[in-house]
């Protein structure tokens, strides 16, 4: 697991870090004079876990937030929870034949990545795989948008996404790519075993090499397209939720 220092901001993101990964939270900054009871809860929880807490001016929080709305709280985080490719095999093995992996090929918008991580956490995914290059990484905006999910879901940063997919196939993981023009439907798949669902970024969707490493390309049926031709695709975070919770439905039915 790789480590780096960074600031995380926002009530949900900081509260989740304090609750789930307190050993890596070095200090918490709270806006002096703020009356939000959620901030008082964070302060109490942080002090209970021997995390340093400081009251600072709003300008100080503005400085560490880097333009992200901080809601009066920030935390210095000594380790961002990201995994490398070599950790993925163990995560799949630990899933006992029920691995559910979300692969995001080139998502650029941090709000989209944060929303995808939030859905992934709710669906209980084994891991989320993102490319190290040409894609947004887990930053302060992602952490805030994910409402703490970035601290509870293993995020694997892949140097070579095609090679990562090939390695997953060797472990018995079926790779399904989501593309709008595919004839096969998502709802025709058996998603109860080791499965990776691969979704593309906001612009061009799945890259050619990524498509070639999928076992099958499928689409989400959208009957409304016939009525409203301008609606040709779903936002990647919405599509992620649809796909993941179809897998959840199958696994609980």
Q: Indicate if 181 and 204 belong to the same structural domain.
A: yes
> For residue 219, is pLDDT > 80?
yes
Q: What is the pLDDT of residues 73-84, one digit of tens each?
A: 999 887 555 688
- Average pLDDT in the 211-237 region? 79
Residue 146 in domain: yes
> For residue 164, is pLDDT > 60?
yes
Q: Are 1 and 84 in contact (CB under 8 A)?
A: yes
Q: Indicate if 112 and 216 belong to the same structural domain.
A: yes
Question: Is 85 strand, coil or helix?
Answer: helix
Residues forming the annotated binding site for S-adenosyl-L-methionine? 200, 220, 234
- Closest by alpha carbon to 22, among 1, 2, 42, 51? 51
CA angle 64, 134, 61 (to 5 degrees): 5
Domain with 40, as residue range(s), is 6-77
pLDDT band at 42 (very low <50, low <70, confident <90, very high): very high
Q: Indicate if 40 and 136 belong to the same structural domain.
A: no
pLDDT given at position 1: 47
Q: Indicate if 161 and 48 belong to the same structural domain.
A: no
Residue 1 in domain: no
| Residue 44 to residues 48, 78, 194, 235, Cα–Cα distance (Å) | 6, 20, 41, 38
CATH number at residue 191: 3.40.1280.10
pLDDT band at 2 (very low <50, low <70, confident <90, very high): very low
> For residue 230, is pLDDT > 60?
no
- Average pLDDT in the 37-42 region? 96
Judged by phi (left if over 0) then psi (alpha if -120 to 50, else beta), residue 233 lies in beta
Q: Indicate if 212 and 244 belong to the same structural domain.
A: yes
- Average pLDDT in the 44-60 region? 95
> For residue 30, is pLDDT > 90?
yes
Q: Are 92 and 174 in contact (CB under 8 A)?
A: no
Residues forming the annotated binding site? 200, 220, 234
> For residue 110, is pLDDT > 60?
yes
Please state the domain count of the chain: 2
Q: Indicate if 154 and 195 belong to the same structural domain.
A: yes
- Average pLDDT in the 20-32 region? 89
- Average pLDDT in the 242-249 region? 98
- Average pLDDT in the 234-251 region? 96
Q: Are 244 and 101 in contact (CB under 8 A)?
A: no
pLDDT band at 124 (very low <50, low <70, confident <90, very high): very high
pLDDT given at position 152: 80
190 phi, psi to nearest 5 deg? -95, 110
> For residue 3, is pLDDT > 60?
no
Residue ending a domain, choose from 46, 77, 108: 77
> For residue 146, is pLDDT > 60?
yes
Q: Indicate if 51 and 122 belong to the same structural domain.
A: no
Six token digits for residue 208: 């050619």
The 10 Å CB-count burial string (b at 16+, else e) for 5-42 is: ebbbbbbbbbbbbbbebeebbeebbbbeebeeeebeeb
pLDDT given at position 237: 94
Range name among 51-55, 77-81, 176-180 with the lowest pLDDT average: 77-81
pLDDT greater at residue 68 or residue 104: 104
- Average pLDDT across the chain, whole number: 89
- Average pLDDT in the 38-50 region? 96
Residue ending a domain, choose from 77, 99, 128: 77
């Amino acid at each position: 697991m790789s480590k780096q220092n960074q600031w995380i901001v926002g009530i949900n993101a900081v509260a989740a870090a304090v609750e789930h990964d307190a050993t890596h939270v070095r200090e918490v900054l709270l806006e002096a004079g703020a009356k939000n009871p959620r901030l008082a809860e964070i302060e109490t929880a942080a002090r209970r876990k021997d995390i340093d807490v400081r009251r600072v001016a709003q300008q100080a929080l503005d400085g560490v937030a880097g333009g992200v709305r901080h809601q009066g709280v920030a935390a210095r985080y000594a380790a961002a929870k990201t995994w490398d490719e070599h950790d993925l095999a163990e995560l799949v093995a630990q899933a006992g034949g029920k691995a559910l992996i979300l692969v995001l090929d080139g998502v650029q918008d941090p709000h989209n990545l944060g929303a995808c991580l939030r859905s992934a956490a709710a669906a209980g995914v084994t891991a989320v795989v993102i490319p190290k290059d040409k894609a947004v990484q887990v930053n302060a905006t992602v952490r805030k948008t994910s409402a703490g999910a970035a601290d509870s879901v293993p995020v694997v940063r892949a140097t070579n996404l095609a090679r990562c997919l090939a390695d997953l196939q060797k472990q018995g993981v079926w790779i399904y790519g989501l593309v709008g023009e595919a004839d096969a439907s998502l709802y025709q798949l058996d998603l109860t075993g080791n499965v990776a669902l691969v979704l593309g970024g906001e612009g061009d969707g799945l890259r050619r090499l990524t498509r070639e490493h999928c076992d099958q390309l499928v689409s989400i049926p959208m009957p409304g397209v016939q009525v409203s031709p301008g609606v040709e695709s779903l936002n990647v975070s919405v599509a992620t939720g649809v796909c993941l919770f179809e897998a959840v439905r199958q696994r609980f039915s």
